Amino acid sequence: MTPRRIAVTGTSGLIGGAFAGALRADGAAVVRLVRRPPRAGDEARWDPTGREQELNAAALEGCDAVVHMAGAPVAARRWTTAYKGVIRDSRVLGTAALAAAMASLDTRPRVFLSGSAIGYYGDTGERAVTEDAPNGTGFLAELARDWEAAAAPAAAAGVRTVFTRTGLVVARSGGAWGKLFPIFLAGLGGRIGNGRQFWSAISLADYLSALRFLLADTCEVAGPVNFTGPTPVTNREATRAMGRVLHRPTVCAVPGPLLRLVLGEFAEDVLGSQRVLPQRLLDAGFTFAHPTVEEAVRAAVARPA
């Protein structure tokens, strides 16, 4: 069973919006947390800065679970000092605000699924890592560390807290992978850099199923959980999979120096390698419907999202 009443942030984004729809299909009551005044019956206003904690507590009152997916897009623009501050604050402050609000309630949610990212591990090269791997270095690694630490008040108050360390989500529209589809459909797809860096991807359908799995009353998993498929591949292999599924050539390439010129500091993370395994999902008995990147791409093409 999944909880009956679930608060969800980030419902204007790819994952949050799709998950809210999936929960409704399951028969759950969804409370969409929004920063503006509510315009629909299923919306509740919250303050991600944490300054209005009474407002946040009221928004979570009566909820069995909280799923936190909100955060400024990482790849929306160049990483200036100012925009890195926006990325950080949108995640760390929002998580802290929700955790404090949950801890303040007399009757608290049973589970808190709080967003995170596989950027936590930094560049792992060809080394495969699981949730037990140490924190890496760099902006995204430090961000993920602080992002997860911000949820501490909820965990300390007895709320089962899970950090969804997200990899590349394969979807036709939305997210980083969604930007690849029009490029490949135009016949302009190809490897990025030398193509040897590992990509850890998961289909949108498997992502939503994993969230449901972790919300279930029978689930006892807490702490970090890698939201990636079980078979990471190199960028070159992912490129070939896209070409096979879309029946397009993949002879183009984006040189590393050009990517650095266009993206600045963020290019180092695009060119970096992350070979991340979802060990805790597998150990808990979760079954992937699309265990390979090619299957994930085919699923995205069959049912655009």
Nearest to 181 by CA among 148, 165, 204, 154: 204
Output the pLDDT for position 262. Answer: 67
Output the pLDDT for position 2. Answer: 63
Output the pLDDT for position 259. Answer: 74
Output the pLDDT for position 258. Answer: 74
Q: Say whether pLDDT at 52 is over 80.
A: yes
Nearest-angstrom CA–CA distance, 217 and 38: 30
Output the pLDDT for position 184. Answer: 92
Output the pLDDT for position 56. Answer: 96
Least confident segment among 5-14, 70-79, 142-151, 288-297:
70-79
CB contact at 8 A, 81 and 95: no
pLDDT band for 304, please (50, 70, 90 cuts): low
Q: Say whether pLDDT at 23 is over 80.
A: yes
Nearest-angstrom CA–CA distance, 204 and 18: 9
Nearest-angstrom CA–CA distance, 136 and 122: 4
What share of the chain has pLDDT > 70, as a percent? 98
The model's pLDDT over 158-208, given as tens digits with 9 standing for 90+, comes to 999 999 999 999 999 888 888 889 999 999 899 999 999 999 999 999 999
One-letter identity of residue 89: D
CB contact at 8 A, 220 and 162: no
Q: Say whether pLDDT at 43 is over 80.
A: yes
What share of the chain has pLDDT > 90, as a percent? 85
pLDDT band for 112, please (50, 70, 90 cuts): very high
Of 152 and 259, more confident: 152
CA atoms within 13 Å, Cβ hemisphere of 20: 19
Nearest-angstrom CA–CA distance, 206 and 215: 14
Note if the pTM is more than 0.85.
Answer: yes
Output the pLDDT for position 266. Answer: 74
Of 260 and 219, more confident: 219
Output the pLDDT for position 173. Answer: 85
Mean pLDDT of the chain: 93
